[in-house]
Structure 1
Amino acid sequence: MRLPEPSDLCLLLVRTDYSDQQAWRAALAAATAVYEVGDFPRMGACLEPVESPDLAGLTPHDLVHLPRAGYVGQLAVADAQTMRDQTVLFIDLNTYNDQVGRTFRAIPQQVEGIASNLTIANMDFFEYADAADPDGVFRGF
């Protein structure tokens, strides 16, 4: 499987868990919903779902090593935990730093801000990862 290049200003959302179609639909809806956070208008996260049986059960380590059709600096992942609690896993693929493979999770309300800031390089992956709670989940600054 080769990961496609995302559209401008979007992140790929790679589905690796196929155990529950209803949970997937709920997680995708939660990740792309419009949440009133802060004092500026929101549009919802620009996430492009990538689904394939070839992705089932892949770990972050496996995803880092997948071939890509173009440059992909970060991935959002819907894994088994996402299907249980709707947190989205983020993986750093940026080969211009020494943290390739670093991960953190985010609650759905934070996904839009993360995706937006990462795609325009307004913030770096490590800023979110470093701000995650001790359980590895980013809940906001």
Structure 2
Amino acid sequence: MVRTDFTDDAAWRTLMQDAQAVRAQPGGFDAQAVLTTVDDREFDGWTGDMVLELDVDSGYLFVADARTFTDPERPILVLNTDPAEGDEFEKSNSFRVAPEHLGPVENNLSIANLDFADFADHTDADGVFREPSAQPDERTLTIKELLSAAPASQLPEPILTSFINDLEGARGQETTTATYVVDLRTSADYLEANREGYSLSNVVGFEETIARTRQGGSALLFSFPVRGGYWSAWIDPDSLVPFALLGVSRRATDQ
């Protein structure tokens, strides 16, 4: 953590205390930012570009600058010190985060569990990354509302039409339970790990689903049975519009 504003020593001490506090996370675990502090007036007034000129053995830097001490949220500047070749110093190479949310950001960056873009590309309009609101693990949805939302999907017409027709046939069950997927890349990892098993069935949307879920983000996931197989659908948590569909059925010789 590099300090570049020296107008309030007490505010700096409070910031460091809050930034390094142990905080309980929604997943039931604790997170704490592990920081090396640089409190040297040599860096007073330095800009983000100037800080990036430092020779550091890290892919990221945290900076407490003037905005950190004047904005009520105290957003800490996070800089990408190892951007992809050709990138400019733009949004993708910096973002801000409030001290109470710094722990999971630092932890994930330090072990490369998430990369810089996973945070920088999901900031609000003011450039601050804020923890997503807590989501329930499961959500009950009606078949009626799913059928109402499905036509707005941008998926190819053949697979979408087949999905809607089969979902129409599931009206008798009235509701289905969807699971909240925090990170869609876990779905991509699962499909890749079970690729051989899926090859034994007739599958539609397999590669497309891997490609889409590999992009990350969150979603609601639900499945419903059809004759000789099932559908799995990844849908937007707000609009309920499907953006990835996987249809699985037994091969004709297995039926």
Length-normalised TM-score, structure 2: 0.47
**Structure 1 residues 118-141: Cα deviation after superposition (integer angstroms, max 9, x where no partner):** 000010101100111011001123
Query: In structure 1, what is the equivalent of residue 42 of structure 2?
Result: 54
Query: In structure 1, what is the equivalent of residue 28 of structure 2?
Result: 40
> Retained in 2: the 8 A contact 1:31–1:88?
no
Residue 110 of structure 1: which of 91, 101, 105 is its match? 101
Identity of aligned residues (%): 34
Alpha-carbon distance change, 78 to 22 in structure 1, aligned in 2, over 3 angstroms: same
> Retained in 2: the 8 A contact 1:17–1:80?
yes
Query: Residues of 1 paired with 2:33 and 2:105: CA distance?
Result: 8
Residue 28 of structure 1: which of 16, 23, 29 is its match? 16
Structure 1 unaligned blocks of 5 or more: 1-12
Alpha-carbon distance change, 30 to 44 in structure 1, aligned in 2, over 3 angstroms: same
**Structure 1 residues 2-29: Cα deviation after superposition (integer angstroms, max 9, x where no partner):** xxxxxxxxxxx01111110011011111
Query: In structure 1, what is the equivalent of residue 124 of structure 2?
Result: 133
Question: Which structure: larger Rg?
Answer: 2
Alpha-carbon distance change, 99 to 28 in structure 1, aligned in 2, over 3 angstroms: farther
| Bigger mean CA offset, 124-133 vs 38-47 | 38-47
Query: In structure 2, what is the equivalent of residue 14 of structure 1?
Result: 2
Residue 93 of structure 1: which of 56, 81, 85 is its match? 81
Query: Residues of 2 paired with 1:56 and 1:46: CA distance?
Result: 23
Alpha-carbon distance change, 38 to 98 in structure 1, aligned in 2, over 3 angstroms: farther
Q: Which has the higher helix share?
A: 2
> Retained in 2: the 8 A contact 1:32–1:44?
yes
Alpha-carbon distance change, 49 to 127 in structure 1, aligned in 2, over 3 angstroms: same
> Retained in 2: the 8 A contact 1:93–1:100?
no
Alpha-carbon distance change, 95 to 130 in structure 1, aligned in 2, over 3 angstroms: closer
**Structure 1 residues 74-102: Cα deviation after superposition (integer angstroms, max 9, x where no partner):** 00111111122321110000145544642
Query: Residues of 2 paired with 1:98 and 1:127: CA distance?
Result: 19
Which structure has the higher relative contact order (CA within 8 Å, separation 6+)? 1
Query: In structure 2, what is the equivalent of residue 5 of structure 1?
Result: none
The reply on whether 1:79 has 2:73 as its aligned counterpart is no
Q: Which has the higher strand share?
A: 2
Query: Residues of 1 paired with 2:22 and 2:37: CA distance?
Result: 17
Query: Residues of 2 paired with 1:114 and 1:97: CA distance?
Result: 23
The reply on whether 1:119 has 2:126 as its aligned counterpart is no
Structure 2 unaligned blocks of 5 or more: 133-255
